[in-house]
Amino acid sequence: MMHAFTYKSTPAHVLFGPGTLARLPDVVGELGGTRALLLSTPEQASQVRALGGLLGKLAVAYFHEATLHTPIEVTERAMRQVHEHRIDIVVALGGGSTIGLGKAISLRTDIAQIAIPTTYAGSEMTPIIGQSANGIKTTQRSPKVLPRAVIYDVELTLSLPPALSGTSGINAIAHAVEGLYAQDTNPVMQLMAEEGIRALTHALPGIVREPGDRRARADALYGAWLCGTVLGNVGMALHHKLCHTVGGSFNLPHAETHAIILPHAVAYNESAAPDAIDRLARALDVVEPANALFDLARLVAAPAALRDLGMPEAGVKQAVDEVLRNPYWNPRPLERSSLAALLKRAWAGERPRL
């Protein structure tokens, strides 16, 4: 039965497909940019430098220090470049870390960002920004940080290592899973979520087997776009809360943490969100989605246990305390003992309990 809903959506300008990067100068022009700052991590410096040839005089400065969790001190260094070079447009090539830096600049200046995503994390489609100061990460929503244009060029994803492709893809699936049962979900986001999960689930094992498989890469990037859009338009629940909590408290790697927690969060919510679970089962083409997500993570060789990422066992209690102190809405009420059992299983790398 169709439930009552409210539908709102963020504006989007998306160029998708192999070779779309060549349209970057036109997009800069459409947005009125004349002096671009090009952002990347140190690892992707040469990839972003190659954009200089494409942009010619429009490329006036580079900043290669983008870092996980968008530390304020890195943003401040980038802001000095913005002022010194009178930057009027930012181009971020990379994953969520680089796009996060572009968002931090937009938040402070209103300068438009063009995002060129090279992972499947989905940040480019959201008005959400997380920033860290003194080891504490805080997240906010602002329309100012939503990239004004997004170029998904499949060619740029071919170099994403298989392990990161797998975990990053499951990170995207997690956005869509929580979109299926979000408090403010709607039929359009549910369609996108289901299609995004389907595309990624089919593509990821092929990418891990053959990272140069362009067809699988295109399907995964398409799925990542859909899942990122879902994250940008509806609220999140227990899974994201758990990931933010353990990731932030124990400095765990982002995508791997998502890949470990997702099957357990789905198992926790199964009884409370039957319609969402039916859709998820259909997208995955299975009967038991939580177990299927656990198996998918093994298929792409993702780590199974939070302890292998460096989380101490005592962290289970600490994380449960934090989740209950500052909870997100969730379809199933949060119960201390069940949450502790969930995290204990994720910590040890066990199968989800249905």
Footprint of ligand NAD on this chain (CB under 6 A)? 41, 43-44, 68-69, 94-98, 100, 118-119, 121-123, 126, 128-130, 156-157, 159-160, 164, 168, 231, 254-255
Q: What angle do CA 11, 13, 17 make, to 5 degrees?
A: 145
Return the residue nearest ligand NAD (CB atom).
96
Q: 39 vs 199, which CB is nearer to ligand NAD?
A: 39
Q: Which is nearer to ligand NAD, 197 or 277 (CB)?
A: 197
DSSP 71: B
Question: What is d(CA 344, CA 323) in angstroms, rounded to the nearest whole number?
Answer: 14
Minimum distance of ligand NAD from residue 124's CB (angstroms): 8
Q: How far is the CB of 86 from ligand NAD (least distance, A)?
A: 27
**Smaller CB distance to ligand NAD: residue 247 or 289?**
247
Residue 238 CB, shortest distance to ligand NAD, in Å, is 17
Between residues 24 and 129, which has the closer beta carbon with respect to ligand NAD?
Answer: 129
Query: Where does residue 185 fall: left (phi above 0), alpha (psi -120 to 50 degrees), or beta otherwise?
Result: beta
Compute the least distance from the CB of residue 159 to ligand NAD, in Å: 4
Distance CA(346)–CA(319), nearest Å, equals 12
Q: Which is nearer to ligand NAD, 94 or 289 (CB)?
A: 94
Report the helix count and the strand count for the chain, using DSSP H and E.
13, 8
3-state DSSP helix/strand/coil % of the chain, to nearest 5: 60, 10, 30
| Minimum distance of ligand NAD from residue 44's CB (angstroms) | 4
Contact present, 100 and 49 (Cβ < 8 Å) = no
**Nearest of 159, 160, 130, 152 to residue 142 by alpha carbon:** 130
Q: Per-residue DSSP letters for 220-241?
A: HHHHHHHHHHHHHHS---HHHH
Cβ neighbours of residue 248 closer than 8 Å, sequence gap 6 or more: 69, 136, 137
* Residue number, 112 or 154, with CB nearest to ligand NAD: 154
Distance CA 301, CA 40 (A): 27
The minimum distance between CB 66 and ligand NAD, in angstroms, equals: 7
| Of the candidates 57, 54, 166, 179, the residue with the CA atom closest to the CA atom of residue 120 | 166
Q: Measuring CA to CA, which residue among 150, 149, 117, 102 is closest to residue 47?
A: 117
Looking at beta carbons only, is 128 or 237 nearer to ligand NAD? 128
Minimum distance, C-beta of residue 32 to ligand NAD, in the bound complex (Å): 25
Least Å distance, CB 176 to ligand NAD, is: 12
Whichever of 242 and 277 has its CB closer to ligand NAD, that residue is 242
